[in-house]
Amino acid sequence: MSGISVQKLNKNFGAKKVLEDIYFEVENGEVVAILGPSGCGKTTLLKCILGLEKSDSGEIFVGSTRLTEWLKDNRIAYVPQKYANFNYLTVAQNILAALNGQELNLDSLVESSLKNVGLDKFKTSYPGQLSGGMQQRLALARALASGAGIIAFDEPFSSLDVETRQQMQELILESRSDNKKTMLFVTHDIEEAIFLARKIVVMGTKPGVVREIIDVPFNYPRPSSLRFDEEFQKIRRALSFIVRSEGIKGKLSEGEPIVGRSHKIGLYYWPGNSPFFYAQERGWFENDLLPVEFISFSDNRQKIDFWKSGKIDILNVTIDTALRLKKEIPDTEIIMGLNISRGGDALISRDPISSVKEIKNKRVALEKDEISEFFLRYVLYKNGMNLEDVIVADMKGDEIGAALISGRVDAAVLWEPWLSKTLELSRAHVVATSRDFSVFADVLVARKSFAEENKEEIQKIKMIWQKSVDAYYLNKQDFTRAVAPAVGLSARDLASQLELIEFFDGGTKRVLEIGGEIKDMMR
């Protein structure tokens, strides 16, 4: 039996892109977990590998043979989320059905198959007479007995209690030590992925992409106590951050704007934009006959490129970026002041760094040419240093936290919604925060020509923004409960993050004053 190679796989359902350029390798006898939030395409990917779904482009090979050819003479055993047993057959007969066509001592093989999963005392029982855990053990025994060299699991233990789930995980590893079958395991359970797999394919959302491939460093056999190992927990924390980040991105509209007559507003991930989402949830834009489309970007440079190319009309940036754009494109105009960070941005680090001076010559993760770079420049400037005093690791905002948690960098500049979770999972501490520097403000910009042609619509956006901000200060609990599902956060997390932000009324006077304060540093 050879390994599996997935090469640039793409899959659409109608106009919706579900999988994009999926690429990874599974070595012969390897256990690989496919991990990601709900809706990222894990099950669709597995069905493509099983031959149950046809991809639109790309290839899947088993060894050097295309999957479609290989499946003509071979099979992949499949253990789905729902029990895949024949309810009208006894436990023993279920195993016999899986052994169909094998020229072996069938009675002996049935006995050993059931003994391996602890069901040898239930040979004459029917699946409906077994507990959920026992039914999944039977499904596993059928897959192992089938003779297939590859077994695919699709979240088979999600409905089981914690103790039974862990028993099943240990049972899989025990069976692996006996037969060295290649196993693909789709799951949303992070600990399960780490405990079972040699390699974890982490998927992102909208469309489903391979976000990262993580090698798990533990040898087999793996004792149950491994779950308490510090390195295990370190990997768990990093994966928790990545999966949470992808879950947030999955809730918000990201990517290409929809072609249409609506005003397209490009946002970045930041709880300070919550008033827009509250107004959207309440239907206020529709009530004012104001068609708007909010497109959120995890890559702020892509957002700016979209605005420059005319794909979006209005751009959400920080005041420093707005000033830079005005210098680059004189037609740029600041049309609204939105908010100012009062602790929602920070420079954080791991021990033993405890002051700004101590990050000299350290590796600091940030997003170049965006607020995180400006934040660091400003903090260094205030401490008599400059950016050349540190080693910059350039990455997107939702990648920065994972880099700090996993120890790939010494410090990081982050903002909410990534900041608080990184502090929680990395055991890092705050070195400097925007609470101490009142210059990190958000604005909306547009081209002057657009602003002139759409004065009435921009005024409506300002009025709706102010109405939404008033609603927040009037009833914060109602506001956060309404917005939290839309932005992929719990109401509690969103509430604590919003406390780190001061909202403006949409006017530009305050942000222009802040712009004047930072001009000297930006020269």
Pairing of strands 209-215, 199-204: antiparallel
Overall average pLDDT of the 20-25 stretch: 96
User: Is the model's pLDDT at 213 over the cut of 90?
Assistant: yes
The CATH-assigned architecture of domain 252-342+439-522 is 3-Layer(aba) Sandwich (3.40)
Separation CA 50–CA 33 (nearest Å):
15
Over 70: is that where the pLDDT of 254 sits? no
Tell me the pLDDT tens digit for each residue of 156-201.
Answer: 887 778 887 888 888 888 877 777 889 999 998 999 999 999 999 9
List Cα–Cα distances, 55 to 11, 39, 67, 138, 214, in angstroms.
5, 17, 12, 31, 25
Q: What pTM value is reported for the model? A: 0.83
Q: Is the pLDDT of residue 504 over 90?
A: yes
Question: Phi and psi of 72, rounded to 5°?
Answer: -65, -30
Q: What is the pLDDT of residue 408?
A: 93
Provide the CATH topology of domain 4-76+148-225: Rossmann fold (3.40.50)
Q: Work out the burial of residue 16: count CB atoms within 10 Å of its CB; fewer than 13 is exposed, 13-18 middle, 19 or more buried.
A: exposed
Chain region(s) in the chain for CATH 3.40.50.300:
4-76+148-225
Q: Which residues of 310-344 are buried (b: 16+ CB within 10 A; e: fewer)?
A: ebbbbbbbbbbbbbbbeeeeeebbbbbbbbbbbbb
Residues 6+ apart with CB under 8 A from 83: 127, 132, 135, 136, 138, 139
pLDDT at 259 over 60: no
What count of other Cβ atoms lies within 10 Å of the Cβ of residue 92?
20
**pLDDT computed for residue 456 by the predictor:** 95
Distance of alpha carbon 220 from its chain centroid, rounded?
A: 28
Mean pLDDT in the chain? Answer: 91
Q: pLDDT band for position 255 (50/70/90)?
A: low
Q: pLDDT higher for 522 or 186?
A: 186
Q: Of 205, 207, 268, 216, nearest to 239 (Cα)?
A: 216
- Tokens representing 50? 């099983």
pLDDT band at 260 (very low <50, low <70, confident <90, very high): low
Is pLDDT above 70 for 322? yes
Q: Which two structure tokens, joined as six digits, stand for 349?
A: 């680090």
pLDDT (mean) for 25-36: 95
User: With 70 as the cut, is the pLDDT of residue 257 above it?
Assistant: no
- pLDDT by residue (tens digit) across 339-368? 999 999 999 998 889 999 999 999 999 999
pLDDT interval class at 103 (50, 70, 90): low
Which range has the worst mean pLDDT, 81-90, 173-182, 227-236, 507-516? 173-182
As given in the structure block, the two tokens for residue 223 are: 């004792």
Residue 146 — pLDDT band, cuts 50, 70, 90?
Answer: confident
pLDDT band at 333 (very low <50, low <70, confident <90, very high): very high
Task: For the domain made up of 345-436, give the CATH fold.
Answer: D-Maltodextrin-Binding Protein; domain 2 (3.40.190)
Number of H helices, E strands in the chain: 20, 21
CATH 3.40.190.10: which residues of the chain?
Answer: 252-342+439-522, 345-436
DSSP percent split of the chain into helix, strand, coil, nearest 5: 45, 25, 30
Instruction: Give the pair of three-digit tokens for residue 457.
Output: 């619509």
Q: What is the reported pLDDT for 102?
A: 63
Residue of 212 and 165 predicted with greater confidence: 212
Range among 89-93, 142-146, 161-165 with highest mean pLDDT value? 89-93
Q: Residue 258's pLDDT is what?
A: 55
Whose tokens are 């002051």? That residue is: 355
Model confidence at 228: pLDDT above 70: yes
